[in-house]
Structure 1
Amino acid sequence: MRNLRLLSFNLKGLRDSASFFSWIRSQQVDIVALQYADLVSLDELVFYTGFSQIRVGQRSGLALLASVPIFQQVQEFDLGAGASCQVADVRFSIYRFLLVNLRLCGGFWFRPQQLHRLFGPDIFQRSHLALPCILVGDFFDGIWLSMFNPFQQNLKRVAPFWCRATYPACFPLIARDRIYKMNGILVNQVEILYCIRERFLCSHLPLFLNFTLSQDFISLPVGLKLFDKFKSVPGNTFMNLRSVDNFYVGS
């Protein structure tokens, strides 16, 4: 499988949408996850950048874009106090992973409630934690993340070795914007884009991730009754199951 390039960008404080359209077109990425996407015209963004697939949250201000049609299903969840997330079922060839675009906001005393909903039966537990997963977005603060055991046990932060701050963009001091991974995600490169052009786009710095999916996590359906009942199987098992009639081999 070829590498996939993902960009996560919080657009809060965006100064110039035209400059943003020009900049994102120059990045040549496969997937873009946006927070506060309601600050720009997404129709114009698609027109100027050429993305072929776009999924926009109805009330959350979250958006997912892709250069190829790989989003099979995207759901939006309200986490309370203005926080929300998008959960995308991404299928690329015979590979499948979950992409979660998250925006935490509101007072920090709402954070336990929001995290419990994120890891509750409607989102992560229903989606099966055995699947590869990438979680991106604006986490607002990291105090509760370090204290919330399900988060620490299941997800591993992906960040550059040195500077990890993304806010404020002109002189970053706080690591508000983050990327986490779980199972079967092989990281090739991760960067915080902090050149002069990115520093003047908005108040947050964008995150870039170059990754591949491990062949040990090819996902096959175990039943046709429920859409999300999948399990992860070793990659070499896939070659022995070509005679099965009801398995998924890609879009």
Structure 2
Amino acid sequence: MPAIRVMTYQVNGCRGSDGRVDLERVLDVIHDAAPDLVALQRFDAPDAKAVERLAERLGMSWFGDAGGNVILSCYPLSGLRPYDLGGEGCCLRADVDILGRRLHLFNVCLSSHPRIRQEQIGRLLGPDLLGHADLACPLIVLGDFADCGWGLGNLNLALVLRRARRPLWCGTYPARFPLLGRDRAYLRGEVRVLESSIPRWGVARHASTHLPLVLTLQARDPREYLRTKSLSRRRMEIAPG
């Protein structure tokens, strides 16, 4: 599978750290990062057509709830389904088809209350989502996990997923002085992070209360190839193994 750029961005209803609602600033942040796939949380569109305008300006298709989690994509998506995690937590699942390869995507937004968040992670790990039997391809879970990376819920996540590599300074919240790495990604299967970045300057510091996280991902070809000696051109030979 070719490398793809994936962004997760909690846009806080397009309300910036200065309290001003401005869709154009969110558009500029996404455009500058040039992702192939964007997972937005708490979009809460300023008007009914806002997400359509955003997708059209970026040349992407959009899927999801314009009042909550949204996915913008340059690639075909299938299997789209929203899930209520309880306590105002939500998850939007999709299967991304990239030149014949499939990647399972889970766009999540959790509660900052420790007990509620732990219950939400339990549902996320349950049989309807990450525990579902049809998840045979590599997967990525990304979004606003609403914490600093500690707690029992994260230990449970670590048992079935691995945290995606982030920049050394991984804070994304609050945007003006990012101390907490609330916005993260977790992986499972043969998928790796080639590059990670957090746009920190310019319009990104004001467009939302969060900074975005951008990952360049590549899923490994699951087929295995066996090295053999050169075969004779005169007759067929059986390759060892």
Coarse TM-score class (shorter-chain normalised): 0.7 to 0.9
| Equivalences for residues 20-169 of structure 1 within 5 A | 20-40=26-46, 41-51=50-60, 53-57=61-65, 61-68=68-75, 70-105=76-111, 107-128=113-134, 130-141=136-147, 142-144=149-151, 148-149=155-156, 151-169=157-175
1:171 aligns with 2:177: yes
CA–CA distance in structure 2, aligned partners of residues 145 and 95 of structure 1: 34
Distance 1:56 1:75, change over 3 A: same
Deviation at 1:80, TM superposition (A): 0.5
- TM-superposed CA distance for 1:182, in Å, is 1.1
2:167–2:197 Cα contact (<8 Å) kept:
no
Change (3 A) 1:80 1:47: same
- Cα distance, 1:213–1:168 mapped onto 2, change above 3 Å: same
TM-score w.r.t. length of structure 2: 0.82
**Cα distance between partner residues in 2 of 1:196 and 1:127:** 44
Q: SS where residue 205 of structure 1 aligns?
A: coil
Q: Distance in 2 between matches of 1:96 and 1:145?
A: 31
Distance 2:116 2:26 in 1: 32
Aligned mates of 1:138, 1:3 — CA distance in 2: 23
Q: Identify which of structures 1 and 2 has the higher relative contact order when contacts are C-alpha pairs closer than 8 Å and 6+ apart.
A: 2
Structure 2 unpaired stretches of 5+: 226-241
Based on CA coordinates, which of the two structures has the bigger radius of gyration? 2
Does the CA contact (< 8 Å) of 1:83 and 1:106 recur in 2?
Answer: no
**How far 1:46 moved relative to its partner?**
1.6
Report the Cα distance in structure 2 between the residues aligned to 1:122 and 1:105, rounded to whole angstroms. Answer: 20
Give me the CA root mean square deviation: 2.1
Q: Please identify which structure carries the higher helix content.
A: 1
Structure 1: which amino acid aligns with 2:71?
L
The TM-score normalised by the length of structure 1 is 0.79
What residue in structure 1 maps to residue 205 of structure 2? 199
Once the two structures are aligned, what percentage of the paired residues are identical?
30
Could you tell me how far apart the structure 1 residues matched to 2:7 and 2:154 are?
27
Change in 2 beyond 3 A, CA 1:117/1:138:
same
CA distance in 2, matches of 1:35, 1:101: 8
State the 1:82 CA deviation. 0.4
Matched residue type, 2:181: A
